[in-house]
Structure formats: C-alpha cells, structure tokens
Amino acid sequence: MSDALIHVLGLGVEIGGRRIIDGVSLSAARGQTVAIVGPNGAGKTTLLRALAGLLPSEGELDVGGYDPRIIDAATCAQTRAYCAQKPISAWDYRVGDLGDIIGDPVGYADWLAKLQLGEFSDRRLSELSGGEQKGVHLAMAFTALADPFGGVLLLDEPAAALDLSRQEAVAQAILAFAQAGGACVVATHDLSFAKRCDGVVVLSEGRLIAAGESASTLTPEIISGVWGASASSVR
C-alpha cells in the first residue's frame, strides 16, 4: 500500500436511519484514476462525499495519508480537493481573480486554458453556465492542492453540462493529473470515460457490485445487470 493515495475498506454511510452505502471497499494508487459508476440513486455522490470526509461514516478510510474524518480542515485541504456536482459560490467573483485568492494566479490561468475556459477570465461566476462554473471549480481544485501532482482529486460529474470539446479537455486534464503522480476518484455516468480510467467501482443501491480494472469489470454482463441495457447501447 506504499503507493496508495486512497484506501477504503468496509465503508458504510447511514443517513436518517437508512443505509445509503454498505460495506464498500476501493483503492487508488499514485498515478491512477478510478471511476465510480452506477445508475441514478446508486450512492455515487454519497460515497464521494464520504471519501471527502463530509459525511459521518464507518470503516477504514485513508485519503492522501490521512483520515479526512478526524484531521483538521487545513491539512485536509492540502492533500485532497473535492468538486461537488453542483458547486456553490458564496461570492460572485470575476473568474480571473480566483487565481489571486488561491495564491497561484499563473498556475490557475494555465489550468483554465487547459480546460478551455480561459476566455471566461473577465466574466463573473454568475454569468457562466452550470457546466462552466463546474469547470472553473475544477481549475481551482487542480491549482489549490499543496502538491499539485501528488494530491487526491474527488470529482462528482466534472464534465456534465459541458460541450463535447470541453468534456474531452476535462477528461484529458483528469487523466494527466493522475498520471503525473496524483490520484483521482470520479463519479460519472459516462461509461466511455470510465473505460479510459485505470479502475472502476460499480455501485447499485449503495452496494459494491464489481470493482477492478475497467476493461475486465465493465463487461456486457455487468452493464446489462446493473443498467438493464446492452453494452452496445451504452455510450
């Protein structure tokens, strides 16, 4: 486990007396991207929020060398970044000014360009679409990690509501971040992206259905059993 940046064993989450996540285990080594997939209501977002330490949970949890449930927020922020499915901004900043707030305007501008969002630098967040706002938050997450290529990214549908060109830019940036020494866990409905990841975790009703290398895990049998669709009909 020396290269593991994420280690999860028997993770469980209960909300309002209801078991949302039940006994899920997964790992991601340095250099790997792992996709969390499953139908609506499978528990993808809940699992990701638990990995970020935002929900009470049981089981073993190590993210970037720490248990995010018990360490201070400052240390947690230096080792992992979480991007929600629907990001919330308390202030209506100009997009380009966010780099100064993070403390690395040059690095932030570089990530904006990689994500094809540099043209929005002079706009305010409120002037962007939901997908574009999410892309800006992703650029902030890439920039904010204390060790840019050694931290953990936890991303919830990062490319949703973006056009195809920007979806591909996001996919390439995520994979490149991991390959350079980080680790990414991405909740997604996009099985074509999941197949490009090093590993995949398949959830259904909060339970682990399958996990492993993408090519050997996303089989026609799994796709049919979980989504009720033929492999050829899944993008």
- Residue 114 has φ and ψ, to the nearest 5°, of -60, -30
The pTM score is: 0.91
Angle between helix 164-179 and 130-144 (nearest 10): 20
User: Domain limits at 29?
Assistant: 4-233
Name the domain count of the chain: 1
Whether the pLDDT of residue 231 is over 80: the answer is no
Give the mean pLDDT of the chain. Answer: 90
pLDDT tens readout for residues 198-230: 999 999 999 999 999 999 999 999 999 999 866
pLDDT tens readout for residues 5-40: 999 999 999 999 999 999 999 999 999 999 999 999
Tokens of 229: 């669709």
Domain CATH number, residue 215 = 3.40.50.300
**Which pLDDT score, from 0 to 100, does residue 138 have?**
94
Tell me the residue length of the chain.
Answer: 235
pLDDT tens readout for residues 57-103: 999 999 988 999 998 888 887 788 999 988 877 788 999 999 998 88
Close Cβ partners of 221 (under 8 Å, ≥ 6 residues apart): none
Task: Give the closest residue to 38 by CA, choosing from 223, 220, 178.
Answer: 223
